[in-house]
Amino acid sequence: MQLIHFYHRHHVHRFAKHPDFYFFELAIWLHTVARSFIAVFVPILLYKSGYSISNIILFYLIFNSIDVPLNFVADHLMRKIGARKVMILGTFATITFFVLLGILPPAHWPLLIVLAFLAAIYDTFFWVAHIYMFIEANREVHDTGKTVSALEGVRRLASVIGPLIGALIFITMGKVSLVIASVAIFTLSIIPLFKMRHVRDIPDKRKVSFREFFSSDREKKDYLSLSLWGVHNEVDGTLWPLFIFTLFGTVESVAIVPVIVSLSTILFSYIAGKLTKHYGTRMILVGSFIIACMWILRLTLQNTPLYYATVFLVGIFSLLVAIPLDVNITAGGLKISSLSASTYRNATSMLLRIPLYGALTLLVEVFKVSFGVAASSLFVIIFIILLINSKINMYKTTNSSSSN
């Protein structure tokens, strides 16, 4: 609860004259709880509905291919109707997605493609709008690392109990009951958004061109790193739970994964946020290296306790990468364009998932290959950061010498 109070103190003081912003926080909390009920089980539900691993890989390829361009539709809609209404549309999309998932029959590809489209609408509409509002909320905050880490802690806290309750409902009452429970909370999460009446959420700044937004080496470094980080996130969040389920064959074995991650990171997220201001780059380098080593361990050693130990360690060290990246992107968005930052953030995080799933559709052994790709993407992050930082430092040295 201290994290929640901390988040309130540091995140919403800019909106103190608009108490409605507390409705926004409540909506995010309820939304996170609803998703934690069922999100980790989506590939499992597809698998148990009769879809093969290759079918599931193809589904995610279609979803990500629709998702990337749809981010710019969300950008356009937000300029027309505002972030709050776009978030509501995204929530309706995910409610429809889970209702249809609950009745999905085997080998029904037309419906599966509709599900991919709905998932893309949710991911783009809800997250672009949500990130935009978060960036704007940091406009007068001096230590962005604290607010990013506090929000991460609140999300993790909401994710601790959800998977366990979701697994219990899934095991005892079945897929349909799990969907009904999740949809009910998603519906509740919309109500606070309708209550917000005074916060202006329509971007009023001019649209920034792609070239202008990425004119700085820092922006290129941050968004390239985020895109590669998205590969790790996808393998760890989607393919790793599916691998665990195919290995152990129980819902409980999958449900424990996000619980371990959440428990291991709730308090550490606060510490990571405080360190980011002074050690952000080092944190990304160390976190990327250690997580890459965890993927290599998963590839080389077949041991159940080790698998869950790596889940714990990856959960902790992922904060060393995720929080500094979010802080950098938030800071850059405040200087250039909050809406462009939220749009490019979501689009770039999804971009490299398209070639990932495209390659996996051609392979039989999808898990080991994807684990290797995840490790490689983290090593590339290290290379990019060292290369661009070296270029930036060289430029500073040259300018300093010429001025003297």
* CB neighbour list of residue 201: distance below 8 Å, 6 or more residues apart: 78, 82, 83, 84, 129, 132, 133
Question: What pLDDT does residue 358 have?
Answer: 96
What does the block give as tokens for 1? 């609860």
153: pLDDT strictly greater than 70 = no
* CB neighbour list of residue 239: distance below 8 Å, 6 or more residues apart: 43, 366, 367, 370
* CB neighbour list of residue 6: distance below 8 Å, 6 or more residues apart: 146, 150, 270
Q: How does residue 209 score in pLDDT terms, banded at 50, 70 and 90?
A: confident
Domain holding 291, by residue range, is 2-395
375: pLDDT strictly greater than 80 = yes
DSSP state of 237: I
For residue 132, being part of any structural domain is answered with yes
Instruction: Read off the CATH number of the domain in which 155 is found.
Output: 1.20.1250.20
The whole-number average pLDDT for the span 340-345 is: 91
Q: How does residue 199 score in pLDDT terms, banded at 50, 70 and 90?
A: low
Question: What pLDDT does residue 114 have?
Answer: 96
Percent of the chain as helix, strand, coil, to the nearest 5: 85, 0, 15
Question: What pLDDT does residue 284 have?
Answer: 93
Question: What pLDDT does residue 305 have?
Answer: 83
Q: Rounded to an integer, what distance in angstroms lies between the CA atom of residue 302 and that of residue 327?
A: 36
Closest CA to 290 of 209, 375, 165: 375
For the stretch 245-264, pLDDT in tens is 888 877 777 767 766 766 66
Question: What pLDDT does residue 222 have?
Answer: 92
Q: Rounded to an integer, what distance in angstroms lies between the CA atom of residue 24 and that of residue 86?
A: 13
**Residue 326: its H or E element:** helix 304-335
**Contact criterion met (CB below 8 Å) for 312 and 264:** yes
For residue 241, being part of any structural domain is answered with yes
CA distances from 16 to 22, 154, 333, 384 (A): 9, 20, 22, 40
DSSP state of 208: P
Which is more confidently placed, 1 or 81?
Answer: 81
Q: How does residue 400 score in pLDDT terms, banded at 50, 70 and 90?
A: low
Of 11-20, 82-91, 297-306, the one with minimum mean pLDDT is 11-20
**Contact criterion met (CB below 8 Å) for 54 and 41:** no
Question: What pLDDT does residue 326 have?
Answer: 85
Read off the amino acid at residue 316.
I
Number of domains present in the structure of the chain: 1
338: pLDDT strictly greater than 50 = yes
Question: What pLDDT does residue 192 have?
Answer: 84
Read off the amino acid at residue 198.
H
Q: How does residue 17 score in pLDDT terms, banded at 50, 70 and 90?
A: very low
Q: How does residue 357 score in pLDDT terms, banded at 50, 70 and 90?
A: very high
Which is more confidently placed, 320 or 378?
Answer: 378
* CB neighbour list of residue 289: distance below 8 Å, 6 or more residues apart: 378, 379, 382
The whole-number average pLDDT for the span 20-32 is: 76
Q: What is the CA radius of gyration of the chain?
A: 21
**Contact criterion met (CB below 8 Å) for 295 and 374:** yes
For residue 400, being part of any structural domain is answered with no
Which is more confidently placed, 199 or 331?
Answer: 331
For residue 204, being part of any structural domain is answered with yes
What does the block give as tokens for 126? 């809800």
**Contact criterion met (CB below 8 Å) for 24 and 131:** no
CB environment 130-157: b (16+ within 10 A), e (fewer): bbbbbbbbbeebeebbbbbbbbbbbbbb
Q: Rounded to an integer, what distance in angstroms lies between the CA atom of residue 328 and that of residue 279?
A: 12
The whole-chain average pLDDT of the chain stands at 82
Q: Rounded to an integer, what distance in angstroms lies between the CA atom of residue 1 and that of residue 270?
A: 13
Question: What pLDDT does residue 6 have?
Answer: 34
DSSP string, 63-128: HHHHHHHHHHHHHHHHHHH-HHHHHHHHHHHHHHHHHHHHTPPTT-HHHHHHHHHHHHHHHHHHHH
For residue 50, being part of any structural domain is answered with yes
Query: Sign of dihedral through CA atoms 183, 189, 194, 199?
Result: negative
For residue 231, being part of any structural domain is answered with yes
The whole-number average pLDDT for the span 271-300 is: 85
For the stretch 100-117, pLDDT in tens is 988 888 889 999 999 999
Query: Sign of dihedral through CA atoms 202, 205, 209, 211?
Result: negative
For residue 403, being part of any structural domain is answered with no
What does the block give as tokens for 32? 């996170």
**Contact criterion met (CB below 8 Å) for 186 and 31:** yes
What does the block give as tokens for 50? 């009769």
How many CB atoms lie under 10 A from the CB of residue 335? 10
For residue 401, being part of any structural domain is answered with no
